[in-house]
Amino acid sequence: MIHAELVHETIDPADVLARVGAAEDGAVLLFLGTVRNHADGESVDGITYEAYERMASPVLAEIANEAAVRLGTDRVAVVHRVGELAIGDVSVAIAVSSPHRGQAYDASRYVIEEIKKRLPVWKREHYGDGRSEWVEGVSPGREGAASTAGEGAR
C-alpha cells in the first residue's frame, strides 16, 4: 500500500490519509507542509515548485519505500505538489500508520527530511514587493532554514 506521487492539482489530505491505516494500527499520523506568508523576514505572496519529474517520481517512491522498511509496514503515503501554490496551500502530505506512535512519527520525519535532502524539486518564492527568487538549499535540521525541496512551511 505504499503510495508516492507528484501532483499538479490541490492535495486533499483526506485522500492521502485514506491510503493508510489498518485494524492493527494504534497510530495514524498525517503531516501537512503548507505555504506560509513569510520567509526570512520577507512577506511572501506564494511559491512555485518545479520538478524534474522523470527523476523526482522514482526518488519520492524510493523515500516512501525506505520509510516503510524502517517502519516495518507498507502503510506509507506521500504526495508532493508542483506548480503555483498560494498561501495556505498544501505542498506536501505524508500519512503513515503503525501499531505504535513512535514508529509513525519516525517514519513521517524520515520522509520529510529525505525529501528536503534528495528530491529534485525547486522552490521559487514570490514576495510582496513583486520580486521572485529561487530559494537556496541548506542542510535539513536547522530550525527556520530554507530548502530547495519539500514542504513549504519552512
Each residue's pLDDT tens digit, 20-58: 999 999 999 999 999 999 999 999 999 999 999 999 999
Handedness of CA 102, 100, 95, 63 (dihedral sign): positive
Residue type for position 6:
L
As a whole number of angstroms, the distance between CA 123 and CA 136 comes to: 8
C-alpha cell at 143: 530550525
Domains parsed from the chain with CATH numbers:
3-134 (3.90.1170.40)
The pairing of beta strand 3-7 with beta strand 76-81:
parallel
**pTM for the full predicted model:** 0.88
User: Residue 137: pLDDT band by 50, 70, 90 thresholds?
Assistant: low
